[in-house]
Amino acid sequence: MRERRQRVERALEESLEPVHLEIEDQSDRHAGHAGARSGGSHYRITIVSERFGGRSRLERHRMLYDALGSLMEVEIHALAIRAFTPTEWTEQRS
Amino acid sequence: MSEISQEVLDQIDEAVKQTPILLFMKGTPTFPQCGFSARTIQVLESYGVPFRTVDVLANPLVREGVKEYASWPTVPQLYVGGEFVGGCDIVCEMHESGELAPVLEQVAESAQGEAGSPEPSDASG
């Protein structure tokens, strides 16, 4: 499902202009469970963007959901999100 | 998605406002049907506070209704004191950073004062 992943990547890049973006497809870990049968993918997203500055966790997640729009309804079954500002991301890794 | 009736949204609203700690999840605390729900339950149980759960898989209207109610496209969803806290990632991050404890404890104390019995129970939806 490389195409689907690219759509996710493009949607996030266009609206959130991340300086770092990792999209890990974990769909195979969930094969066979009820949600996997509906065909949606499982992703784990790590995203670093200046846009998250001054935003709460809830707001950051909503920004991602808004960016993904209709992709959330059908193509994405599950999404784990880690959203950082560049400063937080540096601290995270130190 | 716009076919969710006002009745369902009202029911969700009532449950959210009347339950100090409420988790909309897939499955039950004993048999969670999704890894995210399972992890959220683990976190909540680690605090020993009373909470209630609603299994959204038991009712497709509720499953879609909670998404519209919170404008949040995924389940689980945690509400504390009538406020939407977030999904699994946010609950887990708050747990790890120590932010979740004061939020839960404050509400749990007032709930015990009212109800007396801190037994966790399943809402039937």
Taking only the tens place, the pLDDT of each residue in B99-122 is 999 999 888 777 665 554 445 555
- Residue of chain B with shortest Cα separation from A70: B73
Residue given tokens 């406002």 in the structure block: B17
What is the interface pTM, i.e. ipTM, of the complex? Answer: 0.83
Q: How many CB atoms lie within 10 A of CB B107?
A: 21
User: Given this model, what pLDDT does residue A90 score?
Assistant: 95
Average pLDDT over every residue of B75-101: 96
**What residues have CB less than 8 Å from A70, skipping those under 6 apart?**
none
User: Given this model, what pLDDT does residue A26 score?
Assistant: 84
User: Given this model, what pLDDT does residue A77 score?
Assistant: 79
* Higher per-residue confidence, A78 vs B51: B51
- Chain-chain contact of B86 with A72 (C-beta, under 8 angstroms): no
* Higher per-residue confidence, A12 vs A73: A12
Distance CA B95, CA B89 (A): 10
Amino acid B36 reads F
User: Given this model, what pLDDT does residue A41 score?
Assistant: 82
Q: Cβ contacts (< 8 Å) between A57 and chain B: which residues?
A: 86, 89-90, 93-94
Average pLDDT over every residue of A75-82: 87
Angle in degrees, CA B60, B57, B5, rounded to 5 = 25
Distance CA A34, CA A56 (A): 32
The chain-wide mean pLDDT, for chain A, equals 88
Show the domains of chain A with their CATH numbers: 2-93 (3.30.300.90)
A87: pLDDT strictly greater than 70 = yes
Q: Cβ contacts (< 8 Å) between A61 and chain B: which residues?
A: 72, 86-87, 89-90
CATH (one of 3.40.50.300, 3.40.30.10, 3.40.140.10, 3.10.130.10) for B6-110: 3.40.30.10
DSSP SS3 for B85: strand
Average pLDDT over every residue of A61-80: 89
Q: Cα distance from B5 to chain A (closest Cα, Å)? A: 19
- pTM attached to this predicted model: 0.86
Q: Cα distance from B95 to chain A (closest Cα, Å)? A: 13
B90: pLDDT strictly greater than 80 = yes
A74: pLDDT strictly greater than 70 = yes
User: Given this model, what pLDDT does residue B19 score?
Assistant: 96
> Any CB–CB contact under 8 A between A3 and chain B?
no
- Chain-chain contact of A80 with B90 (C-beta, under 8 angstroms): no
> Any CB–CB contact under 8 A between A73 and chain B?
yes
Nearest-CB residue to B34 (from A35, A58, A79)? A35
User: Given this model, what pLDDT does residue B2 score?
Assistant: 54
- Chain-chain contact of A72 with B33 (C-beta, under 8 angstroms): no
Average pLDDT over every residue of A63-80: 88
pLDDT tens column, B11-63: 999 999 999 999 999 999 999 999 999 999 999 999 999 999 999 999 999 99
- Chain-chain contact of B89 with A82 (C-beta, under 8 angstroms): yes
Q: Cα distance from B1 to chain A (closest Cα, Å)? A: 9
